[in-house]
Amino acid sequence: MPTHTITESAELAKVSRRTIQRYVKSGKLSAQKDRHGNPKIDTAELMRVFGQLSHPAKKKVVKKSQSIAVTHNEIESLQSQLETLTKLVEKQSEQIANLTNRLEFMPGEIRPGANERPELEALAKVPAPSQEPKPPAKTQKRKVTSIADILFNQGIDRDAEAK
């Protein structure tokens, strides 16, 4: 009869891999080692211990023609994306070259010169002043009790007007 790996045996017996490993270790289930040293379990041995076995789930077989068609579609999509991105890079390179040319032909007073560069860098490093509002200056308020106080607050001297 054919032999199965631990995983295949677990699927056939509808138990976990760990259960198969424990049964082999305890001697409830016998296993032979293949040429690589991996345990292989005979189908008859699985039937003796677990009774009726389930049929393994059939793996989905993909025909080569289906996988090739998918691959061709993927290749066409990737080629289209590559062309689009190549055009975008060329367009950006032209724009960079155009801007560089325009910068080279700018008048000297607009374009910062080599001697102004250290000043500009120093300004860039200076932290901006904080924009915290200053508290308003305290004004002295006096309690107004008479016309003389009102005139005094307005800066009018009654005695000076009389003279």
CATH number at residue 22: 1.10.1660.10
Residue 142 lies in a domain: no
Summarised one tens digit per residue, pLDDT across range 54-72 is 876 666 666 666 666 667 7
Q: What is the predicted pLDDT for the residue at 81? A: 93
Residue 139 lies in a domain: no
Q: Given pLDDT bands bounded at 50, 70 and 90, which one contains residue 77? A: confident
Residue 11 pLDDT greater than 60, yes or no: yes
Residue 151 pLDDT greater than 80, yes or no: no
Residue 88 lies in a domain: yes
Mean pLDDT, residues 128-133? 53
Q: What percent of the chain has pLDDT over 90?
A: 35
Q: How many folded domains does the chain comprise? A: 2
Measure the CA–CA gap between 59 and 71, rounded to whole angstroms.
21
Residue 21 lies in a domain: yes
SS3 133: coil
Measure the CA–CA gap between 17 and 83, rounded to whole angstroms.
50
Claim: this prediction has a pTM higher than 0.75: no
- Average pLDDT of the chain is 76
Mean pLDDT, residues 119-141? 56
Number of H helices, E strands in the chain: 7, 3
Q: Which amino acid is at 159?
A: D
Residue 85 pLDDT greater than 80, yes or no: yes
Q: What is the CA radius of gyration of the chain?
A: 46
Element (H, E) at 162: helix 158-162
Which domain does 12 fall in, by range? Answer: 3-50
Measure the CA–CA gap between 113 and 106, rounded to whole angstroms.
11
Q: According to DSSP H, which parts of 27-127 are helical? A: 43-50, 64-104, 117-125
Residue 152 lies in a domain: no
Residue 160 lies in a domain: no
Q: How far is CA 133 from CA 16, 35, 63, 137, in A?
A: 72, 84, 75, 12
Measure the CA–CA gap between 84 and 79, rounded to whole angstroms.
9
